[in-house]
Amino acid sequence: MADPRIPTGEARQNLTEYRTKVQGDKNFLSNLESYKGGFDSWWRRHGYGQYGTNVLSGAWKLKKPGEFQFDEQKPGEFQFDVPKPKDFEFDTEQALQQINKRADALYSPQKAQIEALRKLSQAQYEEQRITTAEDFEKLLQKEEESLNRRGAFFSSGAMDKTSRILEQQGRTIGQLDIQNAANQAQMLAQQGLLSAKQAEYVQQQLTSAESGLYRRWRDKMADWRDERNFAYSKYRDTKQDYYQERNFAYSKYKDTKQDYYRERDWLVDVYRDQRDYQMRYYQWRKDYKQRKKSQEQSYKIQKGNLNLSRDRFEYQKSKDSARRSSGGGSSGGSSGGSSDFLWS
């Protein structure tokens, strides 16, 4: 007969499953307690209290960044205080007055000198013409007196000589006239050339004065433009620096704001994980206690049944032993081997 202290069949399988489950629950509980202890230690180190109960208060204590502020003053509109040079103007009449004065001072003495020479030449010509005419008059008068002294016999020769004298007088005076006309024409030409040079000088000086004034005005305008462009370039650089610094500050502010929301959301998620962990932990403890109580009751019932079977076995064994003793024989082979099953 099998030893009733050794569970067999369904009872043995139930007991084995129970022991396995109890041991697994013990291991799980041990791991859970270890995890909980480490978690509590982490939160205590970070000052949030036991079991993360102050996580939400820590999240709400985070300082939320305010509205974006940038203290540097924005550059205003571009301003350039240096006045622009006036449009180019050239007073021709005033310039001509000054140039004509210089031209007169340069060419008038030369013209006066030529005019004086011309008048002197004219006077010399007139005086020489008169002197030549007087000389020829004296020569004719002398010939007439000689003719009168000689008589009529020599009158034909004297008349020929008189004719030659008159002819020579005409040629001499004609040459004087031609030479005087040539001298006068040459001097007038020199005066005309000086007048042309004076006009050319005036025109050149006028053009030079206008071009010089325009060149100075153009340089002045170029300097004004360069100065204005430099000022605008400096203003543009200042404006670009302002926007770059503002964008950098806004990027930094945006990162700070994102970090705030990220940390706050992380703390809220941690709180939710803590809350879910607590709920799962306490629900497991509740289920574990109920399951343990139910299994212990089942174990007690099965153990009671086994004890009852064992008592019956002992009773039957003692009864059989008494029968054998009274009958003088012994039954062959007892099956009451020792059990290695422990109930502790």
Do the domain assignments include residue 208?
yes
Do the domain assignments include residue 294?
yes
Q: What is the pLDDT of residues 86-136, one digit of tens each?
A: 888 888 888 888 888 888 888 889 888 988 888 888 888 888 888 888 888
Q: What is the pLDDT of residues 52-84, one digit of tens each?
A: 445 555 555 667 777 888 777 777 888 888 888
Examine the domain organization and report whether 59 and 99 are in the same domain.
no
Do the domain assignments include residue 286?
yes
pLDDT at 179 over 60: yes
Q: Phi/psi at 80 (nearest 5 deg)?
A: -135, 110
Q: Which pLDDT band holds residue 295 (cuts at 50, 70, 90)?
A: confident
Cα distances from 33 to residues 66, 275, 335, in angstroms, run 42, 16, 48
Amino acid, single-letter form, for residue 200 = E
Structural domain total, the chain: 2
What is the pTM for the complete model shown?
0.43
Q: What is the pLDDT of residues 4-28, one digit of tens each?
A: 444 455 555 555 555 565 555 555 5
Asked if residue 70 lies in contact with residue 246, where contact means CB atoms within 8 angstroms, the answer is yes
pLDDT at 152 over 80: no
Q: For residues 244-264, give the mean pLDDT.
A: 85
> Rounded to whole angstroms, how far apart are CA atoms 281 and 275?
10
Examine the domain organization and report whether 126 and 47 are in the same domain.
no
Q: What percent of the chain has pLDDT over 90?
A: 7
Examine the domain organization and report whether 244 and 277 are in the same domain.
no
The parent domain of residue 181 ranges over 92-250
Do the domain assignments include residue 77?
no
Would you state the structure tokens that stand for residue 326, as one six-digit string? 């009274």
Examine the domain organization and report whether 225 and 315 are in the same domain.
no
DSSP 332: S
Average predicted confidence (pLDDT) for the chain: 75
Do the domain assignments include residue 81?
no
pLDDT at 232 over 60: yes
